[in-house]
Structure 1
Amino acid sequence: MIAIRRARLADAPGIAAVHVATWRSAYADILPEAVLTKLSEPRLTHYYEHGIRLGLAVHVAATYGRNGEPPVLGFCSASRSRESRLGDGEIETLYMLDDYQNRGLGGQLLRNAARHLWQIGCRSVYAWVLRENPSRYFYQRLGGKCIAEGTTIVGGETFAQSAYAWDPIETLLDVNA
């Protein structure tokens, strides 16, 4: 059984493993190889442990194995907006292991993160997505509207990105995907 829930400190290593695996898969033909090979599970584990301790809203899709450890299959993090012109809340990350994509789990994670943002007073939400990332269609299927274009720098190179938004946030909460 797969549970969608708020991340616990013990989930940080699993979150880091998903982060590394999904970046290496999704961005293999997009980002520089050096960026992907330098990804570090221990460094990302520390990053997510720190964030969870500080109250960063991270939700996980997890299942329990034979040894009782919760393998993390995917995760989503969200916070108040860093760019208020785009919305009140921001989806910072949403990553799902390849074998668990197209099962509705990403939508559940996204809606849980949006529900958290709504509960803390956010009335709109957005997510930046690399324009070359095929997952941008996922956001469109869930009703996200492209509201801005921009660039980001990864590994010293500039990449185009698009911001998808749900305004009001309830348009995301009501999606049945």
Structure 2
Amino acid sequence: MSTAIRPALVADAPRIARVYVDSWNLGFGGLMPPAVFDDARVARWARDLAVGRWWVAELDGTIAGFAGICPSRDPVDPRLGELDTIAVDPPYWRTGVGTSLMHTALEALAADYPEAILWTLANDPQGQRFYESTGWHPDGHSRADGHQISYRLSFR
């Protein structure tokens, strides 16, 4: 199976919402309250997809994951890009889908920004290992009373 990366469409919102909820609940179970798949979540994703830069990974016509970037929101800095979200449907974990999505997001970030940031849970070693394996480095900052930590990546 080969992974095809394409820009996400607003019409992808129901599947993206499902991937988000399933990956959140399995990946963060016990760390965070469960996410719920409902019409409100689908509508939120439709709004986000309409205004952001998002990609989906497809395998045999099925959306297996997605990623998106934006200007940094924390800290607000137009010269700093942000990996907004990256999520892979659990059946596709450790198949290269996440890495393919990350490479696409990093290419876009590098084209637009000298540096990028992402925020992740402080107690999520699996996610942290993935970010570090794709070049990100913890920068020592935290928020949400230390529950989230940031990683940075310089492109210049």
With normalisation by structure 2, the TM-score equals: 0.87
Q: Does 1:29 align with 2:30?
A: yes
Aligned equivalent of 2:62 = 71
2:36 pairs with 36, 39, 42, which one? 39
Question: Structure 1 unaligned runs (5+)?
Answer: 65-69, 153-157, 170-177
Q: CA RMSD in A?
A: 1.9
Q: Which residue of the other structure, out of 94, 100, 106, is the alignment partner of 2:92?
A: 100
Q: Does residue 58 of structure 2 align to residue 62 of structure 1?
A: yes
Per the alignment, residue 142 of structure 2 pairs with 150
What is the number of residues matched between the two proteins? Answer: 152
**Correspondence 1:51 to 2:56:** no
Please point out which of 156, 160, 168 is paired with 2:155: 168
Who is 1:173 aligned against?
none
The match for 2:9 is 8
* Among candidates 106, 123, 143, match of residue 132 of structure 1: 123
Query: Which residue pairs with 1:115 in the alignment?
Result: 107
Following TM superposition, the consecutive aligned residue runs of length 4 or more in structure 1 with deviations greater than 6 angstroms are none
Choose 1 or 2 for highest CA Rg.
Answer: 1
SS at match of 1:88: strand
What is the CA deviation profile of residues 16-46 of structure 1, one whole-angstrom value per residue up to 9, with x for unaligned ones? 0001101110111211xxx31x523322211
Cα gap change, 1:3/1:167 in structure 2, threshold over 3 Å: closer, same or farther?
A: same
Q: Structure 2: which 5+ runs fail to align?
A: none
Partner of 1:67: none
Task: Return the offset for 1:108.
Answer: 1.4
Q: Tell me if the contact between 2:114 and 2:154 (Cα under 8 Å) persists in the aligned partners.
A: yes
The answer to whether the Cα contact below 8 Å between 1:77 and 1:113 also exists between their aligned partners in 2 is yes
